[in-house]
């Protein structure tokens, strides 16, 4: 029998609930008070953080440039754009010899000096053109020969008909007096009719040959013209004549006239200018390039220009009076050019016709260094926007609309 223990193994503290110490309770209370104070102090920021975002207010923008009516712009006179960025230039009249149009071409043919036969003195840049020229010479000779044949056949026919008519009349008289029989008269009339029919046939064949020669010559002439070689110039050309061919855009054809003065500059001869004139215009517009082939005639007695040399050609170099404005004043929209002409406190959109840019002059300022001749649209003394004009292009495009400045329409 086991002994009963006199002392228990269970601690007296194990049966009492766990309690927090006074220090821990104090620390918890301090933290709670601090958090409450922070929340109270920053309540607006915290509420704003969790609140949904408010819509941003719409700020109305003030338009510096506006459309008053179709073709009329108004720029705020107090804006920085009007005060600091827009420049005004005055359209002025100048006497210039600047080309109306510049194109690039090449020497197609030249009339060499010293060769015995004029028809053999032409040097060409292309073999097919030289072949066409040779065929054209032959066609001209064939046409001349065919024309002579027509004249000869007609003369022979008239002589034969005259002879047989006389013979028939004589036979008729002899039959009347009883010397010839009726059979002899019928034979004479038959020979006359047969000669007339054969003569008409010979004339027709000769004329057909002549017409074929004319048609062949015409086709070869057209081929030469399309290549830039004028047959008429080939026949009457003087020694030293040079033919230059260039393709002029269809939109610029109205600026080209036969006999118009021109000047050419060649890469091979920098600084040297050759004077000449516009020759013949091409017979048709190229469907692929939309250009017209134009021939220019130059005089080169020293034989420096060789077939195939490239040249920059300026058309219309005669002295003329032009209205000019700075190039930066011209704004392009669609297929037209415009300027903004000053009208009081507004600017009128005016369509203009401009030409090739003028070369800078030594006495021009930087703002006016590059000027454009204007053939229509503005007059001498008109004030137009120059510097900063490009900034008004969006407003200008709006002003070109049919109902610009009238939103109710």
Residues 368 and 223 in one domain: no
Query: CA 237, 242, 247: angle at the middle one, nearest 5?
Result: 115
Asked if 73 and 148 sit in the same domain, the reply is no
* Per-residue model confidence (pLDDT) at position 335: 85
Q: What CATH number has the domain bearing residue 309?
A: 2.40.30.170
Return the pLDDT at 145. Answer: 94
Cα separation values, 107 from 228, 233, 270, 273, 311, Å = 10, 15, 16, 15, 8
CA–CA gap between residue 195 and residue 158 (Å, rounded): 10
Question: What pLDDT does 53 receive?
Answer: 58
Q: Is residue 35 part of a domain?
A: no
Distances (CA, A) of 319 to 261, 372, 374: 10, 16, 15
Residues 365 and 386 in one domain: yes
User: Which tens digit of pLDDT belongs to each residue from 296-318?
Assistant: 998 888 888 888 999 998 887 67
| Residues 108 and 255 placed together within one structural domain of the fold | yes
Decide which of 268, 295, 315 is a domain's last residue: 315
- Chain-centroid distance of CA 345 in Å reads 37
Tokens 């134009």: give the residue.
294
Residues 288 and 325 in one domain: no
Same domain, 90 and 130: no
Q: Are residues 292 and 368 in the same domain?
A: no
Q: What confidence score (pLDDT) does residue 61 get?
A: 47
- Nearest Cα neighbor of 237 from 144, 127, 119, 101 is 119
**One domain, residues 272 and 224:** no
> Which residue is listed with tokens 């406190």?
345
- Structural domain includes residue 119: no
Does some domain include residue 352? yes
Q: Are residues 150 and 225 in the same domain?
A: yes
Instruction: State the residue range of the domain holding 386.
Output: 65-96+320-399
Residues 146 and 69 in one domain: no
**Count of structural domains, the chain:** 3
Let me know whether 265 and 203 are in one domain. Answer: no
pLDDT at 300: 86
Q: pLDDT for 270-284, tens place per residue?
A: 888 888 888 888 888
Q: Is 25 inside any structural domain? A: no
Q: Does 391 map to a domain?
A: yes
H helices within 258-374, ranges in order? none
Domain-ending residue, one of 185, 204, 232: 232
321 beta partners: 95
Q: Which residues of the chain have pLDDT under 70?
A: 1-20, 37-63, 97-98, 114-120, 317, 356-369, 403-409
- Please give the pLDDT value at position 114: 63
Q: Is residue 108 part of a domain?
A: yes
Single out the residue in 315, 345, 365 at which a domain terminates. 315
| 130 occurs within a structural domain | yes
pTM above 0.85, yes or no: no
Q: What CATH number is given to the structural domain containing 367?
A: 2.40.420.20
Query: Does residue 356 fall inside a structural domain?
Result: yes
Contact criterion met (CB below 8 Å) for 331 and 337: yes
Do 148 and 214 lie in one domain? The reply is yes
């Amino acid at each position: 029998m086991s002994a009963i223990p006199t002392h228990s193994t269970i601690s007296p503290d194990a049966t009492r609930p766990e309690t927090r110490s006074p220090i821990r309770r104090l620390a918890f209370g301090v933290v709670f008070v601090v958090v409450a104070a922070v929340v109270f102090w920053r309540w607006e920021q915290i509420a704003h953080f969790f609140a949904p975002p408010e819509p941003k207010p719409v700020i109305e923008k003030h338009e510096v440039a506006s459309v008053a009516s179709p073709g009329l712009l108004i720029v705020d006179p107090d804006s920085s754009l009007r005060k600091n960025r827009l420049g005004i230039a005055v359209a002025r009249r100048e006497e210039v010899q600047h080309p109306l149009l510049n194109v690039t071409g090449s020497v197609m043919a030249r009339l060499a000096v010293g060769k015995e036969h004029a028809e053999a003195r032409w040097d060409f840049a292309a073999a097919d053109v030289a072949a066409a020229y040779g065929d054209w010479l032959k066609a001209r000779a064939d046409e001349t020969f065919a024309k002579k044949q027509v004249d000869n056949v007609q003369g022979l026919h008239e002589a034969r008909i005259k002879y047989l008519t006389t013979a028939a009349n004589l036979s008729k008289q002899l039959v009347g007096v009883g010397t010839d029989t009726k059979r002899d008269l019928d034979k004479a009339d038959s020979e006359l009719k047969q000669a007339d029919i054969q003569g008409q046939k010979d004339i027709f064949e000769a004329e057909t040959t002549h017409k074929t020669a004319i048609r062949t010559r015409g086709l070869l002439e057209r081929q030469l013209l399309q290549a830039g070689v004028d047959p008429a110039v080939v026949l009457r050309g003087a020694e030293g004549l040079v033919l230059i061919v260039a393709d002029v855009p269809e939109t610029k054809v109205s600026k080209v006239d036969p006999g118009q003065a021109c000047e050419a500059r060649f890469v091979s001869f920098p600084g040297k200018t050759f004077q000449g004139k516009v020759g013949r215009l091409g017979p048709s517009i190229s469907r692929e390039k939309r250009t017209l082939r134009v021939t220019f005639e130059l005089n080169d007695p020293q034989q420096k220009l060789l077939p195939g040399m490239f040249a920059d050609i300026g058309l219309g170099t005669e002295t003329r009076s032009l209205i000019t404005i700075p190039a930066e004043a011209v704004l392009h929209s669609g297929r037209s050019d415009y300027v903004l002409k000053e009208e009081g406190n507004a600017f009128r959109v005016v369509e203009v016709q401009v030409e090739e840019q003028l070369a800078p002059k030594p006495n021009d300022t930087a703002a006016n260094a590059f000027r454009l001749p204007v053939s229509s649209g503005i007059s001498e003394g008109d004030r137009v926007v120059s510097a900063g004009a490009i900034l008004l292009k969006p407003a200008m495009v709006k002003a070109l609309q049919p109902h610009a400045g009238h939103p109710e329409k």
